[in-house]
């Protein structure tokens, strides 16, 4: 088990508890942060609720809180203004006040949506994150970024609203579908290439997805290392004005793929996996990385069954790339890896370079299909 914390820009503290069995200690973590009596509203989706909602509500009520639950649809389509409006209304219908705590129980979508609702309800109420997916445990639930999608792109409207507590328990991954587990591994791979090559060594040691599932000690170490990296970076750059941008490796193309796809076939991690390959080709084209980098990125991703190419044509991606949320003063910004553990930022690479990188990940044939 590990306990981490960092001070936020509002001088509040975000504290993270990481380790197996942490869900059982959720009540104590809540009491420590928000002495009862209070109201806690658990926001979750229809996929997670059958597995974990009853247990979490039991923990909350046994700790002395009034518990309410709000269910939202599962999937990226829930990150919409319509669903957000419904969530606001249902939170208000519970009698929520500024002492009410919103507890996000789910993956990245639930965390994004519930976090945005908590940031804006009554001009801001406390938030707790209990991530149930690998992607959320190593990345999405940490750092306070939240938001919803718009027709012009992904995560284009949102806020920074730090959770007071994040409870990361790898035991919750037991109910995660295999495809979602693969998707989360893309974010783990990202940390390995951007910051810590040891993560790539651990993945290779596991061998493949079945090997990883058979070695919970490697899962635990991967989760702990990724959380540590994310916390250290967020503590230095909470508002993503500097080095935190590097954690978007693969996300420029990844978000464009998701938007062009209409969130119909690609999961977030799958799109990011393809995006990392595109970014590797771009780095080579710019002379920032050796020619072997795309093959190195591809090998790790394919080892765990993640896609490395897409049938979505370049011309469909370009409009979404032009609206990437990392753009600054009209310039596009791409995260490039020079070698595992060493990453940087490139502003406005030549259009021809971008198009060649996208061409390198394009495959002809049927539209992208979900992995098994």
Catalytic residue positions, numbered: 123, 145, 187, 230, 240, 244, 248, 251, 255, 268
What does the H/E/C string look like for 198-229? Answer: HHHHHHHHHCCHHHHHCCHHHHHHHHHHHHHH
**Closest CA relative to residue 358, chosen from 279, 261, 268, 247:** 279
C-alpha distance from residue 211 to each of 44, 221, 303 (Å): 30, 15, 11
**Closest CA relative to residue 30, chosen from 4, 57, 63:** 63
How far is residue 94 CA from its own chain's centroid?
28
C-alpha torsion 142→180→248→322, nearest 10: -130
Residues 6+ apart with CB under 8 A from 173: 132, 133, 134, 137, 181, 219
Specify the long-range contacts of residues 281-285, CB closer than 8 Å, at least 24 apart. Answer: 281/356, 281/357, 281/360, 281/361, 282/334, 282/336, 282/346, 282/349, 282/353, 282/354, 282/356, 282/357, 283/336, 283/337, 283/338, 285/353, 285/356, 285/357
Q: Is 287 helix (H, G, I), strand (E, B) or coil?
A: coil
- Rg over alpha carbons for the chain, rounded to the nearest Å, is 20
Residues 6+ apart with CB under 8 A from 229: 191, 195, 196
C-alpha distance from residue 329 to each of 60, 332, 343, 348 (Å): 46, 9, 22, 11
């Amino acid at each position: 088990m590990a306990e981490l914390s960092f001070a936020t820009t509002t001088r509040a503290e975000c504290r993270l508890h990481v380790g197996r069995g942490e869900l059982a200690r959720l009540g104590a973590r809540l009491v420590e942060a928000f002495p009862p009596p209070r109201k806690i509203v658990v926001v979750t989706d229809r996929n997670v609720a059958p597995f974990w909602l009853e247990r979490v509500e039991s923990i909350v009520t046994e700790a002395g809180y009034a518990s309410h639950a709000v269910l939202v649809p599962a999937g990226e389509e829930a990150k919409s203004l319509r669903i957000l409006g419904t969530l606001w209304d249902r939170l208000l219908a519970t009698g929520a006040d500024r002492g009410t705590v919103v507890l996000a129980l789910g993956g990245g979508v639930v965390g994004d949506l519930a976090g945005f609702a908590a940031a804006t309800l009554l001009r801001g109420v406390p938030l707790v994150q209990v991530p149930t997916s690998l992607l959320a445990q190593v990345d999405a639930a940490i750092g306070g970024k939240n938001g919803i999608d718009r027709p012009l792109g992904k995560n284009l409207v949102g806020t920074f609203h730090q959770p007071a507590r994040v409870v990361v328990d790898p035991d919750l991954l037991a109910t995660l579908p295999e495809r979602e587990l693969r998707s989360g591994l893309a974010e783990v791979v990202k940390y390995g290439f951007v910051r810590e090559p040891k993560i790539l060594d651990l993945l290779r040691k596991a061998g493949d997805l079945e090997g990883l599932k058979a070695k919970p000690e490697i899962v635990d170490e991967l989760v702990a290392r990724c959380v540590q990296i994310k916390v250290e970076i967020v503590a230095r750059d909470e508002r993503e004005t500097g080095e935190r941008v590097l954690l978007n490796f693969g996300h420029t193309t990844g978000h464009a793929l998701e938007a062009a796809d209409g969130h119909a076939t690609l999961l977030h991690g799958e799109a990011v996996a393809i995006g990392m390959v595109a970014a590797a080709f771009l780095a080579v084209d710019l002379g920032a990385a050796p020619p072997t980098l795309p093959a190195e990125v591809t090998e790790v991703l394919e080892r765990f069954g993640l896609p490395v190419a897409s049938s979505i044509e370049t011309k469909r991606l370009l409009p979404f790339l032009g609206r990437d949320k990392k753009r600054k003063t009209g310039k596009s910004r791409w995260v490039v890896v020079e070698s595992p553990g060493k990453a940087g930022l490139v502003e406005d690479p030549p259009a021809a370079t971008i198009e060649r990188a996208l061409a390198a990940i394009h495959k002809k044939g049927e539209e992208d299909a979900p992995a098994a």
